Amino acid sequence: MSSQFEALATALSNLEEEKVLETVRSMLNKGIDPKDIINALREGMDKIGKMFEKGEAFIADLVIAADIFKKAVEIIKPHLKVVERGKGRVVIGTVEGDIHDIGKNLVALMLEISGYEIIDLGVDVSADKFAEAIEKYNPDVIGMSALMTTTMLNQKKIIEELKKRGLRNRVKIIVGGAPTTEAWAREIGADAWGSDCFDAVKKVRELLGR
Ligand code: B1M
């Protein structure tokens, strides 16, 4: 990562809200690609996550970092170009037991600006809610985010439940989130895995052929 992106990541992990937001504005004014800015912000979240693991940061710090991240994304949003509309419908949510939504929101945002209609079920979404959403919205794709090693297991549970209800083959399924991998996605019978919000768009495009 170049030094300006590293400085942004550090400002976020140091919870320097004004510095983060000012840096984001100034980078956008300089014409820096919003995708690179988003990646740097994610690095910042990873940094504070590691500090939390070592006992150097607390939950309250994670909450503040998440709040700064969300404000930064609001500044970036108008700079993201909407490509076209009507490419398909995606129902997305963070799985049951998990309330992390920053990554899921970014995936939803990138899909939206890439032309997909998004139905966001929010966080802590159960198999029941995903099943109801398939019946109600008839989506092309279901997206499941999980940020914890414990809750990624619910991605598997939800797919199994959709199979039981005869709904699995009505949709394509993409999973993602920090602890997940391509191998995990294959193991649980998902159709695709997204390493980040940009990869998620690429995979959905490949799944739908549009
Ligand atoms: Co929590 N948390 N947290 N947390 N938190 C992690 C995940 C953790 C790794 C921190 C750590 O210990 N190092 C750890 C999980 C450990 C594990 O796996 N077992 C953890 C923990 C333990 C917890 C609590 C249990 C803490 C506690 O209460 N004791 C608790 C859990 C509550 C719950 O969910 N039931 C908790 C709470 C919170 C906050 C509420 C304080 C806050 C979340 C705020 C929010 O989301 N609104 C928070 C935060 C901020 C984090 C870290 C620091 C940052 C997560 C984040 O937003 N990253 C995180 C550490 C880390 O991840 N390094 C951590 C930035 C985001 C852009 O990246 O979410 O990875 P990410 O999303 C990426 C990709 O993963 C991918 O694309 C995204 C964008 O490029 N992606 C997809 C994500 N979803 C996808 C879906 C797709 C495709 C790609 O297709 C559908």
pLDDT of 88 higher than 90: yes
Q: Is the CB of 38 under 6 A from ligand 1?
A: no
Mean pLDDT score, 106-116: 94
Question: Residue 194's pLDDT band (boundaries 50, 70, 90)?
Answer: very high
pLDDT of 8 higher than 80: yes
Q: Mutation test of ligand 1: which of 95, 114, 147, 206 has the most ligand atoms closer than 8 Å to its C-beta?
A: 147
Question: Residue 85's pLDDT band (boundaries 50, 70, 90)?
Answer: confident
Q: Map out the domains of the chain as residue ranges.
A: 3-79, 89-208
Distance of CA 161 to the CA centre of its chain: 23
Q: Is the CB of 107 under 6 A from ligand 1?
A: yes
Class of domain 89-208: alpha beta
Summary mean pLDDT of the chain? 96
Ligand 1 atom 66: residue of nearest CA: 103
Q: Does the predicted TM-score (pTM) go above 0.85?
A: yes
Phi, psi of 151 (to 5 degrees): -85, -15
Mean pLDDT score, 97-126: 96
What CATH number labels 3-79? 1.10.1240.10
Tell me, in angstroms, the distance from the centre of ligand 1 to residue 106's CA.
13
With a pLDDT cut of 90, the percent of the chain lying above it is 95
Tell me, in angstroms, the distance from the centre of ligand 1 to residue 170's CA.
29
Mean pLDDT score, 153-181: 98
Tell me, in angstroms, the distance from the centre of ligand 1 to residue 100's CA.
5
pLDDT at residue 1 in the model: 67
Q: What contacts 41, CB < 8 A, 6 or more positions away?
A: 8, 9, 12, 20, 24, 69, 72, 73
Ligand 1 atom 62: residue of nearest CA: 46
Q: Is the CB of 172 under 6 A from ligand 1?
A: no
Q: What contacts 85, CB < 8 A, 6 or more positions away?
A: 115, 117
